């Protein structure tokens, strides 16, 4: 009879992209997989670290002290407690069927490949948590501007602040677009039915596709509002320019009139 196990995956999202090469130079364990976009490390007996260049680091079967030590190695000075994070548990036992629950997945076979796929899905979920929070923050700020327009009939924001706000929105959207590949099924699942089932089960459990489309829709709303703000600002600037021209013409006429009288 096999021994039941419950082993935890913990994933954290850093605010910026991760330099994989820099992390590679700090590895003290065994590198299982390495590419330009991620790094999979065996840090101890049945312990793994998965680092993704889109800003996520995931840990398997490591306690808080071990995770803290890893952060000090790879990202010294990073306030771990303030990062977007999530936990997920892999369970194993005698049952043959995969059983997904609120925060766990039960498998009859847990090996390096299933662990890697589970860590990948948890990492993707944490990335979406982070970007969803960012998109909701942008939407909240847009609502503040539209509420101001509704109540006061004008938009009190400078051109510089508009441009900074637009830059933040577009930069965040571009970061997500750059990392679209994270939602592709890993190559190892293409020829392995069991691993493909593990990946698809976790992907559905975390609602990765649905959550991504929701974030896209939020950014669409933000962009539509920003377009309207810029149009209003341009109209305001055009109106100012028209008044300046009118005043200059008036000054010129008055100057001509006074000159003739004198």
The number of residues making up the chain comes to 262
May I ask the CATH architecture of the domain 5-124? 2-Layer Sandwich (3.30)
Ramachandran class of 96: left when φ > 0, alpha when ψ lies in -120 to 50, beta otherwise: alpha
pLDDT for residue 51 is more than 90: yes
**Whole-angstrom Cα distance, residue 70 to residue 39?**
14
Burial per residue of 209-220, b for 16 or more beta-carbon CB atoms within 10 angstroms, e otherwise: eebbeebeebbe
Domain ranges of the chain: 5-124, 126-261
pTM: 0.82
- What is residue 213's predicted lDDT score, i.e. its pLDDT? 87
The answer to whether 215 and 132 have CB atoms below 8 angstroms apart is yes
The answer to whether 59 and 22 have CB atoms below 8 angstroms apart is no
pLDDT (tens digit per residue) in 88-130: 999 986 666 788 888 999 998 889 999 999 999 999 999 999 9
pLDDT (tens digit per residue) in 158-211: 777 777 888 888 887 787 777 655 666 777 788 888 899 999 999 999 998 889
**Whole-angstrom Cα distance, residue 193 to residue 158?**
56
- What is residue 230's predicted lDDT score, i.e. its pLDDT? 74
Residue among 147, 140, 211, 148 at smallest CA distance from 169:
140
């Amino acid at each position: 009879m096999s021994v039941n196990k419950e082993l935890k995956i913990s994933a954290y999202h850093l605010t910026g992209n991760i330099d994989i090469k820099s992390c590679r130079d700090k590895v003290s364990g065994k590198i299982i997989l390495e590419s330009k976009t991620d790094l999979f490390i065996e840090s101890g007996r049945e312990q793994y670290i998965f680092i993704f260049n889109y800003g996520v680091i995931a840990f398997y079967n490591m306690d808080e002290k071990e995770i803290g030590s890893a952060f000090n190695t790879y990202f010294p000075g990073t306030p771990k407690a303030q990062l977007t994070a999530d936990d997920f548990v892999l369970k194993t036992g005698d049952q043959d069927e995969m059983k997904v629950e609120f925060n766990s997945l039960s498998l009859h076979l847990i090996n390096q490949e299933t662990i890697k796929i589970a860590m990948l899905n948890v990492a993707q979920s944490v990335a979406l948590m982070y970007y969803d929070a960012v998109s909701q923050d942008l939407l909240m700020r847009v609502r503040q501007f539209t509420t101001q327009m509704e109540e006061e009939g004008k938009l009190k924001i400078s051109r510089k602040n508009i441009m900074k706000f637009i830059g933040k929105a577009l930069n965040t959207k571009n970061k997500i677009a750059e990392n679209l590949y994270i939602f592709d099924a890993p190559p190892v699942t293409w020829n392995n039915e069991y691993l493909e089932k593990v990946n698809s089960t976790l992907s559905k459990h975390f609602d990765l596709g649905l959550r991504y489309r929701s974030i896209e829709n939020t950014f669409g709303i933000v962009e539509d509002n920003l377009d309207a703000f810029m149009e209003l600002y341009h109209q305001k600037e055009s109106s100012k320019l028209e008044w300046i021209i009118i005043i200059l013409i008036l000054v010129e006429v008055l100057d001509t009139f006074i000159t003739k009288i004198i």
